[in-house]
Amino acid sequence: MQDTAIPATKRTAMTNQSQAVSADLIAVVIAVTNGEPRVLTIGKPGALPSGPFELGHRSLQSGLRAWVERQTNHPLGYVEQLYTFADRDRIGDERVQISISYLGLTREEQAERSPTHGWHGWYDYFPWEDHRAGVPPILPDILTPRLLAWADDVEDPSMRRDRRQRVAYAFGLDDRDWNEELVLQRYELLYEAALVAEAARGRDTSGAPALPGRPMIADHRRILATGIARLRTKIKYRPVVFELMPPAFTLLQLQRTVEALAGRLVHKQNFRRLIEQQDLVEETGETMSDTGGRPAKRFRFRQAVLAERAVAGTKLPLTRA
Amino acid sequence: MQDTAIPATKRTAMTNQSQAVSADLIAVVIAVTNGEPRVLTIGKPGALPSGPFELGHRSLQSGLRAWVERQTNHPLGYVEQLYTFADRDRIGDERVQISISYLGLTREEQAERSPTHGWHGWYDYFPWEDHRAGVPPILPDILTPRLLAWADDVEDPSMRRDRRQRVAYAFGLDDRDWNEELVLQRYELLYEAALVAEAARGRDTSGAPALPGRPMIADHRRILATGIARLRTKIKYRPVVFELMPPAFTLLQLQRTVEALAGRLVHKQNFRRLIEQQDLVEETGETMSDTGGRPAKRFRFRQAVLAERAVAGTKLPLTRA
DNA sequence: CCAAGTTATACTCGCTATGAGCATAAGGAG
DNA sequence: CTCCTTATGCTCATAGCGAGTATAACTTGG
């Protein structure tokens, strides 16, 4: 909606010889398959679909859709803008690159495997973010000690305190709770502490210990972190989970999807209560008897809620375990 | 933090002959003076400070700061990105303009009046958004009837229902509550219904009735609406109000500022309870005996909270009246 | 100095939302 | 038929929040 083009009148800027820049569109496309959140990538080394904004594109969003579909043959559903940033090309080039990143939600098509693109579980990139089976060992075993060591590795005591506090806050140390939304803050701390491969680029890393999580091209992993954080925040107040669900589903399937995204478990009964009392779904009439238990009713998303309260809420009960 | 420059490696895009575009930075700079929220403008007709992103700028944000300070001599404090959009220059030009908008918060300097810039109450632009003294007459008297007329002015019954529903939702009709965050949705509905001057540009408006709210250049009013909406949302979960406060203030002053932003009144006692129990402020020791009542303690923002919980919460009790 | 008006502050009440469990229902696998 | 597993229904206790009552502490006009 923000993407609507309103003709610009005379520019009010003082100069008009504005610098020529190029604009790139980058997509974080998410799907959840078998209870695992996955991200759409292209090429071998793990890169997000992207491409330059071109004259033929009607709007930024449609340009993005065009690129994703061209590179992956995968149509996009829900799309929202994430963040815009600028990189100076590294050789002190006269060219400035502006990247506009987007979050997209779809369902992974079962068909077509392709060499040009693929889906990867997002916890491959962020293994410390999955707390569904409890605190992942990588945290207490590797990351926490190294982060604390990094925090202490500075002379200025106030800066040391600041680092400790940021680490403790972002990673839920001491008595603090784990906050699943702080994906970006955690990644940035790890980057600062040179605990992700991307931070070591250009440095000599021979003989250094392996760093956790699969790296990505350029700053794509940071962008992915931004997308995950946004999605984890958003599912709490907007009915976007349904973009990731098939047309009909059981409440447990819905719950598993939410848990996959949030990286933590929720209380089953309370989850159902919340979903039902918000009238987000309606029964299809069918029932599912697969998973070896009492058959579950199947539901579908009540499309009407989008119109009724485009902004209302999908609250989620988030528990420890 | 997102603005950090990480060197981009080889572009993964399929083509590299990326379209030359120009990038503009636009600022929505807000201050609250005497219980009135104001926006920083330049030039006569009401335009937001803006200017092209240039090579000399270290980052998008610093470019924005440079422009605002150059155009208004006003230093910026808190800044966050709002939205990025693209306009095709209207004459089917080969040039595409990308605009990156920001929200900035400061305090209005008492000194220097300048012809090059000025502060304007934001309710001049959005008179229907101020509900502090109850529902503004312009709504029931003018806007609501015209919006409903617009909604009915379409053949397709499902589209008519959709329009009615959107209007009712955005403007809190029927039994619905007024939601102060829907600033952008309301503006867009008014635009669609041609009830704001910007929508009538290029059309013949001779003899048409006056439209509510002061218009702005190009789509600047829409951008302002985006900024207001973001701020109204954000004060509810981040301690950003304090960016708008003087170093020391009474709780009532703080409350008035919040009310000015939200456009609605809050329950005084509950407001205090919330602020205090969150440890957002600390007493300065001084007391203020101005406003003809019992003297109020003065408080200052506890800067520590920014470190303690960079994300925590500043909940606001929002009541009807 | 007193009365009235105004703002500051302290508490109390009642309801709702939400975190946690307990209990029962309804299938499938052996 | 028994055990296991998942689905569903209900209860309970509490924290948080919307509202309202009751004082306290000044200022200002007689």
Dihedral sign computed on CA atoms, order A124, A128, A134, A138 = positive
- The residue lying closest to nucleotide D27, measuring its CA against C1', is B292
- Judged by average pLDDT, the poorest of A260-264, B7-11, B38-42 is B7-11
Tokens representing residue B183 in the block: 């600033």
Domains along chain A? 21-123 (3.90.79.10), 127-212 (no CATH), 238-308 (1.10.10.10)
Strands A96-105 and A20-33: parallel
Which amino acid is residue B41, in one-letter code? T
- Highest mean predicted confidence (pLDDT) among A7-11, B193-197, B314-318: B193-197
Q: Is pLDDT of A238 > 50?
A: yes
With a CB cutoff of 8 Å and minimum separation 6, the contacts of B140 are none
**Alpha-carbon torsion angle B57, B227, A52, B63, nearest 10:** 0
User: If residue A304 lies in a helix (H) or strand (E), which one and from where to where?
Assistant: helix A304-308
pLDDT tens digits for range A27-57: 999 999 989 999 999 986 689 999 888 877 7
Q: Is B315 exposed, middle or buried (0-12, 13-18, 19+ CB in 10 A)?
A: middle
Q: Is pLDDT of B152 > 80?
A: yes
pLDDT category at B11 given cuts 50, 70, 90 is very low
Q: How far apart are the first and last CA of chain B?
A: 39
- CA of A232 vs chain B CAs: smallest distance (Å): 14
| Mean pLDDT along residues A271-279 | 91
Q: Are B15 and A53 in contact (CB under 8 A)?
A: no
Closest nucleotide to A253: CA versus each C1'? D6
Query: Is the model more confident about B201 or about A142?
Result: A142
Residue B136 CA to residue B178 CA, distance in Å, equals: 12
Residue B1 CA to residue B92 CA, distance in Å, equals: 37
Cross-chain Cβ contact A19/B22 below 8 Å: yes
Which amino acid is residue B193, in one-letter code? A
Cross-chain Cβ contact A86/B1 below 8 Å: no
* Residue B60 pLDDT: 87
> Which of A1, A10, A11, A70 to mutate: most B Cβ within 10 Å?
A11
Q: Is A60 exposed, middle or buried (0-12, 13-18, 19+ CB in 10 A)?
A: buried
Residue A290 CA to residue A148 CA, distance in Å, equals: 47
Q: A27: closest CA among A6, A55, A47? A: A47
Q: Is pLDDT of B254 > 80?
A: yes
Q: Are A59 and A25 in contact (CB under 8 A)?
A: no
pLDDT category at B180 given cuts 50, 70, 90 is very high
Placement of tokens 């997000």 in the chain: A48
pLDDT tens digits for range A92-102: 556 778 999 99
pLDDT tens digits for range B123-151: 999 999 999 999 999 999 999 999 999 99
